[in-house]
């Protein structure tokens, strides 16, 4: 089993990533280096800035990930600002912003993962999950916007799913599948 560091303070993300990467014989080790998350126009920009910062301070293979929820009727808000918005208004605030909107509650969760191997080569993988925002918070699993996001063709929120179920649908699961495909080549 190979060690791979996941640079994050988010225990929920760590659990999902560790659960998925065990398939490729990786022991994922959570490491909180407190890297700055630059405010940018894309998740890729946030991840690339994070990689540059971490490479100056850490010298083992690692991954970092940034994700966001892009809500169609809110002009893709909160998008790259999802974490900040969550800490300010949470799921209740998002539901309030959508109050009165009954039909077009489409949303897309996006994830960008950067993998830095032992040769300091950087590989970036993106994943998406389309769905919609429900009308109330449902479920006790997961974190962040999971209690209000329902993936396409499903009738339960991410917060109602187990980690394995969520990884089958989720944006992070999709970007991790791309990473696994790359590692297995």
**pLDDT for 156:** 97
> 165: pLDDT confidence band, cut at 50, 70 and 90?
very high
Task: Report whether pLDDT(105) > 90.
Answer: yes
For 125-142, write each residue's pLDDT tens digit: 999 999 999 999 999 999
Centre a 10 Å sphere on the Cβ of residue 79 and count the other Cβ atoms it contains. 18
For 48-80, write each residue's pLDDT tens digit: 999 999 999 999 999 999 999 999 999 999 999
pTM value? 0.94
Task: Report whether pLDDT(34) > 90.
Answer: no
| First-last CA distance in the chain | 17
Summary mean pLDDT of the chain: 95
Task: Report whether pLDDT(175) > 90.
Answer: yes
Rounded to an integer, the average pLDDT of 22-26 is 86
Contact in structure between 115 and 138 (CB atoms under 8 Å): no
Closest CA to 46 of 67, 76, 69: 67
**pLDDT for 56:** 94
* Region for residue 120 given its phi and psi (left: phi exceeds 0; alpha: psi -120 to 50; beta: otherwise): left
pLDDT > 70: percent of the chain: 100
**pLDDT for 146:** 98
Of the residues 3, 25, 45, 66, which is catalytic? 66
**pLDDT for 38:** 86
Q: Which CATH architecture has domain 2-184?
A: Alpha-Beta Complex (3.90)
Is 66 designated active site? yes
Domain ranges of the chain: 2-184
Q: Rounded to an integer, what distance in angstroms lies between the CA atom of residue 24 and that of residue 57?
A: 26
How many residues would you count in the chain? 185
For 74-102, write each residue's pLDDT tens digit: 999 999 999 999 999 999 999 999 999 99
Contact in structure between 148 and 78 (CB atoms under 8 Å): no
């Amino acid at each position: 089993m190979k060690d791979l560091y996941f640079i994050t303070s988010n225990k929920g993300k760590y659990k999902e990533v560790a659960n998925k990467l065990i398939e490729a014989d990786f022991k994922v080790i959570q490491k909180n280096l407190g890297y700055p998350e630059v405010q940018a126009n894309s998740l890729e920009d946030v991840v690339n800035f994070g990689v540059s910062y971490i490479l100056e301070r850490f010298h083992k293979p690692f991954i970092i990930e940034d994700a966001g929820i892009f809500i169609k009727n809110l002009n893709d808000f909160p998008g790259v600002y999802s974490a900040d918005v969550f800490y300010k208004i949470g799921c209740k605030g998002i539901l309030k912003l959508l109050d009165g909107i009954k039909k077009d509650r489409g949303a897309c969760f996006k994830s960008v993962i950067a993998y830095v191997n032992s040769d300091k080569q950087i590989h970036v993988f993106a994943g998406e999950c389309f769905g919609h925002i429900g009308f109330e918070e449902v479920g006790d699993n997961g974190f962040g916007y999971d209690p209000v996001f329902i993936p396409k063709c499903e009738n339960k929120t991410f917060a109602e799913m187990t980690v394995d179920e969520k990884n089958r649908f989720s944006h992070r699961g999709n970007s991790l599948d791309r990473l696994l495909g790359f590692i297995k080549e």
